[in-house]
Amino acid sequence: MNTVINIYLPFFPGFYESIYSNSDTGYNAIYEDMDYLREMYPGAEINDFNFDYKRFEAAIVDKFVEAFKGYKPAFVEGIEFESLYSPRYYNYDTDRIYCNIELSDDWKNQAKEFIARNYDTLKERIRRDWSPYDGFISFIENDIEAFRVELLDNEKPLYVQILLQYVMEYENGGYDKIFDSLFYDTMEDIYDTEYIIYTKEGAK
């Protein structure tokens, strides 16, 4: 039976003032579509409309998960959306998309091969990413051998998540490239107009 773990998907920056959504998203969508909206609602003004952020964000989450599947490594056999976590306050946290990840029977062998093939660069990457510094307390091992134990022997989900991110970066040209690809694939078929709501009193 394949291993299934619950993780949040890397490369998703959340909705708070991010590339996916910000405080101006709704206003800009309404403002840019006013000519079209006035054709639908003659005499309407900009303040007669609201933007349905909840539906808009739900659509983004759905599309992001589907886009993510197109870039997943070979050792990931399935990805199933589980929940969206949104913090009450965004001071120290952001939105996360949690999914159940189904790993192949040989995922550990593939992980070992990936680590061996990229040992020197991964050693430095893990040290750089997970060493504590002022303002950052790390709960991840920053030594590659200790990291490997937590990943392969203890099968800790957070380490599998980090492995998933590293493999996707290595296979798709780096963090920025995969981030941009996921963004464009996610937003390709999402149209702001669909989430504009006419709220003028008496409107149907």
pLDDT band at 90 (very low <50, low <70, confident <90, very high): confident
**pTM for the model:** 0.91
77 phi and psi, to 5 degrees? -95, -20
List pLDDT tens digits, range 103-141. Answer: 999 999 999 999 999 999 999 999 999 998 987 888 999
At 1 the pLDDT is: 61
Mean pLDDT of the chain: 93
100 phi and psi, to 5 degrees? -90, 120
At 181 the pLDDT is: 97
